[in-house]
Amino acid sequence: MAVISGLSLSSDRSAARSTWEFSWPLIAGLALFLFLMNASGLPLLSDPDTHWHIAVGDWMRAHKAMPRVDAFSFTFTGQPWIAKEWLSQLLLSAAYSAGGWGGVAALGAAAVAATFAVLLRLLLADLKAPVALLFTAAAVVMMEPHLLARPHLLAFPVALIWVAGLVRAVEERRAPRPVLLLAMLAWANLHGGFTLGILLCGAFALDALVGARDMAERKVLFVAWLKFGVASVLVACITPYGPESILVTLRIFNIGDALATIAEWKSPNFQAQPMQELIVLVALYVALSRGVKLPLVRLLIVLGLTHLYLRYARNAELLATFMPLVIAPVLARQWPSLRPGADTVQESRLMRRVNALARPAGRGAVALAFVVAAVFAGGMIRFANITPPADVMPQAALDYARDNGLLKGRVFNSWNYGGPLIHAGIPTFIDGRGELYGGDFIQLYAHLTGVRGEESLEQTLDYYKIDWTLLDKGWPVNKLLARLPGWHQAYTDEQTTIFVRDR
C-alpha cells in the first residue's frame, strides 16, 4: 500500500511538472508574437495592400455578399473581379473593427507565431532540436521582408500542414490522409497560393511512384494518389466562386512583363537583403561540402522552390519553410545522428535540456502563453496607438485633399497609395489588384509615371477626367505635371505631392 501511494505521489508530481513545461515551438511562437506586437506596427503594417484587403472585408460585411465586379476604382469599375482571398479579408476586417490597426497587428503577429510554431513542431518530428531551430531561424530571416498583415500570412500555418502531410505520406509509402483535405479547404479560401499546393500534390505523387518498391506497390499508390489529387482539386473549388479562384492565378501570370514593375514580383535584391544571400550561400556550402543527396523528384521540388524565389522575391517564404519540410526526412536518414533521441548518452547536460524542450508543451504552459499574449496585445491595442507608418498611409496629404474638396474628383494616384485610398472610400486610378488591371494597363501606368514611352500624360489625364494627383514626391511625372498647362502644385510634403487641375 505504501509503495502504491508513493508511486502515485511521484506520478502526480511528474504530471504537475509536465503541465507547466514549455517547448521550443511555444517559446518561439510567443517570442515572435511579443516582438511583432510593437508600438511602431512594423513590419506587419508596412504594406499598403493591407488597407484595401480590410476595405474589401468591410464591403462584404456591409453588403452580406461576395463582390463579383470591381467597385473600388473608377478606371475598371463594373469589370469582373472576385475577392479570391475573401476569408482572410473578413478576418482582417473583423480585426480592424475590433481593435483598429492594433487589432490588425495582433492578427498578423498571431499568424506569424502560429506559422513558426507549426514549422518547428513539424521539423522536430524528424530532426534534433538544434537543427530544427537553425532551420526555423533561417526561415524567419528569409521571410522578414514579407512579414506583412496580408492574406498570405494567415494562410501559412495551414500551407505548412498541407506540405508536411504530403511529405509524410511519401515517407510512409501511402496516399495522404483524407483529413488533410481540410488544410486545402482552408488554404483555398484564405489565399490564392493554394494553386501551388495542388501542384505540389502532383509532384509528391510522382515522388511516391518513383520511390515505390515494385510495380504492384506502384499501381496501388497511383490509384490512391490519383483519388487524393482529384479530391484536392474538387475541395479547392469549394469557395464562393467555385473554380474561378483557380483561374485567377493564371490571370496574374498572364500580366507578363508588367509583373516586373511591381516590387514584390521582382527578383530578390541581395544588396537590400544581404542576410538572404548569406543564408542561400551557407545552404549551398553545407549541401556541397557534406554531400546532401536527395531523391530525384525531391531534388526537383527543391530546385523548383529555388526558381520561384529567384524569379519573384515574394516567394522567399516558400523556399524558407517548404524546403526544410521536404528535406528533413532525407537528412535524418542520411545522418542518423540528426534524428531526435540519437546519441543521448553522450550529450552534455545543456544539450539534453535543449532536446528535452522538443517535447510538446504542457497544457498549463500553453494556457499561460496565451494569457500573456492576450494581455500584452490588449495593452498595446489600448495604449500604444498603433498605426501604419507615414510612408504607407499619406494621412497628411489625404487630410489636405479632404479639407479642400478634392475627394469628389478623380485622382491619378501612386500604386502604393491605392490601398489607403480604397480604405478611405476614394475610387482609385490603380491599386494592388494586378489581376484586375492586366498587363497593358499596368505598363501604361508605369510608362506614364516614369515619363517614358510614347504615352501622353496630358491625354491620359484628359481621357480619364482626372481632377487631382496623389504621387510620390520624387517621381519624374511630377516635373512634367509642373509644366503642363492647366495644372498647378497644390500641396507637397516629405513624401507626397498633389497637383490640381485648374478650374
Residues contacting residue 414 through CB under 8 Å, at least 6 positions apart: 449, 470, 471, 472, 475, 496
Q: What's the gap between Cα 23 and its chain centre?
A: 25
CA dist list (Å): 182 to 178, 192, 231: 8, 16, 11
Residue 73 backbone dihedrals phi, psi, to 5 degrees: -120, 165
Q: Given this model, what pLDDT does residue 258 score? A: 77
Give 10-residue mean pLDDT values along the chain (503 residues).
Answer: 35 56 96 97 96 98 97 97 97 98 98 98 96 97 95 97 98 97 98 96 98 96 98 97 90 79 87 94 95 96 96 94 97 94 72 89 95 98 94 94 95 96 97 93 91 80 96 94 95 96 89
381 in Cβ contact with 103 (< 8 Å): yes
Question: Cell 554531400, residue?
Answer: 291
**How many other CB atoms are found less than 10 A from the CB of residue 357?**
17
Cβ-based burial of 495 (10 A; exposed 0-12, middle 13-18, buried ≥19): middle
Burial of residue 73 (CB within 10 Å: 0-12, 13-18, 19+) is buried
Other C-beta atoms closer than 10 Å to the C-beta of 175 total 24
User: What distances in angstroms separate CA 500 from CA 60, 297, 406, 489, one per listed residue?
Assistant: 33, 58, 8, 6
Beta partners for residue 469, in sequence order: 412
d(CA 478, CA 488): 10
Domain ranges in the chain are: 17-46+82-367, 395-501
Q: How far apart are CA 404 and CA 307, in angstroms?
A: 49
Predicted pLDDT of residue 9: 33
CA-closest candidate to residue 428, choices 436, 438, 419: 419
Coil, strand, or helix at residue 351? helix
pLDDT of res. 416: 93
What is the three-class DSSP state of 428?
Answer: strand
Q: What does the pLDDT read at residue 8?
A: 35
- Check residue 10 and give its pLDDT: 38
Helices (H), 211-240: 215-236
At 362, which amino acid appears? G
Q: Which helix (H) or strand (E) holds 99?
A: helix 86-123
Residue 5 confidence (pLDDT):
34
Cell of 301: 521540388
